[in-house]
Every structure is written in C-alpha cells, then in structure tokens.
C-alpha cells in the first residue's frame, strides 16, 4: 500500500513531466484564471497529445487518491452525500445563463448582474458565491464577478452548457429517484415502475415515447447528444480512429438509430467511395440531419435519411451496420430483438459495429478520472431512465450468441478508455446461417 509521501512524490514527478510536455507543445501551464481554459486542448492523435493525456491521467489518479486519504472516510462519505448541492448549483447557473452575462475579459458587479438576469441580488449572491466555492467565477474585488477558466468554458463552448443543462435538470431528476424505484421493486413489486424516470416525471411511457410528445425536451435531448460528440470524451474522432474505415472502398453503411447523422458525417470524409443511410424513428432529428447535409454538396449525394423502427425487419442490405450508443438503452431481451431485425438483410461477411462503453471486468477499482469513471456514471443514467445497463465484452458476445448461435464472430475490440474516450468499438462479423 503506497504511503501519502510516495503518492505525493509520484505527483511531483508527473507534474514535472507535464510541464515539460506543455512547453514542448507551446502551451501555457493551466491556471484558474479565465485564460487557463485551453491548456490541454491538443490533438490526441499526436505523440505529444497522447503523452499529455497519459501524464495528466496519472496525476489525476494519484491526486484523487491523496485527497481521499487526507480527507478520511467520514469527510469522503459526506462529500458524496452532499454532491447534489453541487449539481443543483451548476444547474441554476446554466439555466439562468449567468456565465453568458459575465463579460469575457472583464467583470460585472453583482448588482448589475442581478438586474441583467432579473434575480434578487441577495439570492444571486448566494448562488454565485457557491459557484465560486466550486471554481466557477471569481469575486475580485468584493461584489464584482469575473470569469474563472471553468465558467469561461461554459461561454466559449455552448455544447458544454447543453450537456450540463440536460444532465443536471433532466437526468438529475431521474437519478435522484433511483433509490425509490429500487425499493419499490423490492418492497411493493405490484406497484413498481419500469424505471426511476417514470417516478420523476409521473408517466407510464418510456423515455422515447415521452420525448416524442415533448418538442422542447426533444430539442434539449438532441442538443445534449450533439454537445457530447463535440467534447473529447465522446468525440466521434475516437470512432474514426478505432477502425480502418479508409480501406473499405465502395460500401454501403447504415447508421441505425443515427439521429441527425453526426456519426456518418464524421466518417464520410474517410470513406469517399461509400454511401451512407441514417435510420431513425425520430422525424425531427432526421430533418435536422437533412438540413445539415444539404449545406455540404460533397455529402448530399452520399448521405440519405430514412424513417425506421429498429424493432422491424431491416429493409436495407448493406456491408456495414453501426449501432452507436443504442443497445445500452435496452434490456437484453429488447437488444436481441433489435439485433434480430438485421437477420433478413445480412449477407455473409457483413459487419455489425457496436460503439458503446465497455464495463471493465471485476474486481472493481477506484476510478479517479472522468474518462475511466464515465462508464459507471453512464450505467447509472441507463438504470435511471431505461432500467437498462452498460455491458462487458462478454455481455455483448452473449447477445450475439443468443441472437444466432454460432453465426457471428467477434473480430476485435478497440478500447475507448485507453484512449481517454467514453465509447469503445466492437466489431462482429456475420458468418452466414449454419
């Protein structure tokens, strides 16, 4: 067991390495000030970018271990118990658009900020000063607010704000009802609901049925999805790097449940001879995709959009089928039904690509970086809104074995976590009916 002295020494060693890497990349060291928000925005595909990520992860791992040891078990548990206060604060910060009302490179008085967002000054001061305690904003001098690096990021990156807004407001409401849903299933199964989401939003509908009837929530949901793929953790760049797309030639690629087509729009430049079909049952999302593709003549002739319910037989015979962040929304039984819909269209040699997080095999360990912990966080999301779960590699293999025993082969797995990303890629090949 490492001592606190050894951990601290390791941190010091890695920090020195990090400083040298930042100098090599021509980047200023990170600071809490507004200008300190871009210190680690480097291309992950370069050797310097990879070294920065790896070194940064080692520092975070060791630093979090040191913090937990120094806190002690009581303070650590209480920090977890009261973390809802942090989520509520950043939720109200984004809903009131407070970051957007604080000028970049300047400052604003609490009084003027109060007038701008129409919130009483005493209440606003409490909200903002709690945020300052968490590293959002700075108060300098007294009663004058300016940006920190983190609050400035919420202004400069609208995608980040969209993730926070949907993640804290909608997902947060559902997560807080997980204990009620679990206890209800245990203690009163006759009145149990499908998922915590049903308790939080007082509905018997599934999330997707609920979204179809709520235009504003649907918009926020797709802004959230678009926001995620525009951040490093969920970036489509990791999917682009995970498979030899450029070698596939003249093929047809179907993105099943592909929403507005952000995945195939990222893959299309790598596959100039390929044609793409985005399938989804959400008509507004498909229309968003059509509008986006219409603005790029090089994509318009190669990407089409089609309404499709992935529980119905697949109408398109293709070379490659992609399920990106789909199966984790569904139980094993429903996931097998979704995959079964492919069978009428599959030809021997067809590829089925699953782009999702992969849960590490036990025993479980402390996870101190967001990239490593995100699969556990997302697993809680799935529990809360779908009563579904993230899977291990063995779980995915079991789905395909149940689907059609002996007719699929797992060709390979590219780990996302090892590259600092959320999603991994599993490649299955259809061998043909035996």
* pLDDT tens, position by position, 275-297: 999 999 988 889 989 998 998 88
**DSSP H helical ranges for 26-120:** 47-81, 83-95, 98-101, 110-117
What is the structure's pLDDT at 409? 96
What is the structure's pLDDT at 233? 82
Contacts of 63 (CB under 8 A, 6+ apart): 11, 368
Q: Which one is predicted more confidently, 419 or 29?
A: 29
Q: What percent of the chain has pLDDT over 70?
A: 97
Report the candidate in 329, 285, 287, 279 with the shortest Cα–Cα distance to residue 306: 279
| CA-CA-CA-CA dihedral for 60, 63, 68, 71, to nearest 10 | -140
| Dihedral angle sign, alpha carbons of residues 341, 347, 349, 351 | negative
* Distance between CA atoms of residues 55 and 10, nearest Å: 11
For the question of residue 262 being annotated catalytic, the response is: no
User: Are the beta carbons of 230 and 158 closer than 8 angstroms?
Assistant: no
List pLDDT tens digits, range 352-367. 999 999 999 999 999 9
Report the candidate in 216, 186, 211 with the shortest Cα–Cα distance to residue 197: 211
Beta bridge partners of residue 353, listed in sequence order: 322, 427
User: Sorting pLDDT into bands at 50, 70 and 90, what band is 39?
Assistant: low
Contacts of 10 (CB under 8 A, 6+ apart): 2, 58, 62
Q: Which one is predicted more confidently, 228 or 411?
A: 411
Burial class (CB in 10 A: 0-12, 13-18, 19+), 260: buried
Longest distance between any two alpha carbons in the chain, whole Å: 75
List pLDDT tens digits, range 120-173. 999 999 999 999 999 999 999 999 999 999 999 999 999 999 999 999 999 999
User: Sorting pLDDT into bands at 50, 70 and 90, what band is 259?
Assistant: confident
Residue 272 scores a pLDDT above 90: yes
User: Sorting pLDDT into bands at 50, 70 and 90, what band is 343?
Assistant: very high
What is the structure's pLDDT at 47? 80
Which of 42, 222, 262, 328 does the annotation list as catalytic? Answer: 328
Q: Domains in the chain, start-ordered, CATH in brackets?
A: 4-81 (no CATH), 83-153 (1.10.10.10), 158-222 (no CATH), 234-430 (3.40.50.150)
Classify the phi-psi angles of 81: left when phi > 0, otherwise alpha if psi is within -120 to 50, otherwise beta.
alpha
User: Sorting pLDDT into bands at 50, 70 and 90, what band is 43?
Assistant: low
Average pLDDT, the chain: 92
Q: State pTM to two decimals.
A: 0.89
């Amino acid at each position: 067991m490492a001592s606190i002295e050894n951990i601290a020494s390791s941190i010091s060693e890695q920090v020195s390495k990090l400083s040298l890497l930042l100098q090599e990349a021509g980047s200023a060291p990170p600071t809490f000030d507004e200008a300190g928000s871009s210190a680690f925005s480097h291309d992950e595909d370069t050797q310097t970018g990879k070294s920065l990520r790896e070194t940064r992860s080692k520092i975070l791992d060791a630093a979090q271990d040191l913090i937990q040891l120094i806190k002690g078990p009581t303070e650590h548990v209480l920090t977890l118990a009261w973390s809802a206060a942090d989520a509520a604060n950043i939720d109200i910060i984004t809903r009131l658009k407070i970051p957007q009302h604080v000028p970049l490179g300047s400052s604003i008085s609490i009084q003027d900020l109060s007038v701008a967002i129409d919130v009483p000054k005493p209440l606003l001061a409490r909200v903002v000063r709690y945020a300052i305690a968490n590293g959002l904003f700075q108060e300098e001098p007294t009663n004058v607010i300016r940006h920190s690096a983190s609050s400035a990021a919420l202004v400069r990156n609208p995608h980040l704000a969209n993730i926070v807004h949907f993640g804290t407001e909608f997902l947060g409401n559902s997560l807080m009802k997980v204990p009620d849903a679990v206890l209800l299933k245990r203690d009163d199964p006759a009145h149990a609901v499908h998922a915590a989401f049903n308790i939080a939003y007082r509905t018997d509908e599934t999330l997707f049925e609920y979204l179809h009837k709520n235009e504003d929530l649907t918009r926020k949901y797709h802004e959230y999805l678009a926001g995620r793929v525009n951040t490093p953790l969920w970036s489509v760049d990791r999917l682009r790097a995970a498979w030899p797309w450029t070698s596939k030639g003249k093929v047809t690629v179907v993105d099943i449940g592909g929403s507005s087509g952000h995945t195939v729009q990222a893959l299309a430049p790598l596959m100039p001879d390929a044609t793409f079909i985005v399938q989804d049952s959400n008509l507004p999302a498909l229309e968003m995709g059509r509008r986006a593709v219409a603005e790029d003549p090089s994509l318009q002739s190669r990407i089409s959009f089609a309404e499709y319910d992935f529980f119905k037989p697949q109408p398109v015979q293709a070379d490659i089928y992609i399920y990106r962040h789909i199966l984790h929304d569904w139980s094993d039984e429903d996931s097998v039904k979704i995959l079964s819909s492919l069978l009428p269209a599959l030809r021997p040699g067809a590829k089925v690509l699953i782009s999702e997080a992969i849960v590490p095999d036990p025993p479980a360990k402390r996870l101190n970086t967001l990239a490593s912990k995100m699969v556990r966080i997302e697993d809680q999301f799935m529990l809360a809104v779908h009563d579904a779960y993230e899977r291990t590699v063995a779980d995915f293999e079991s789905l395909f074995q149940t689907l059609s025993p002996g007719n699929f082969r797992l060709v390979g797995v590219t780990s996302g976590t090892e590259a600092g990303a959320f999603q991994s890629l599993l490649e299955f090949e259809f061998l043909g009916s035996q």
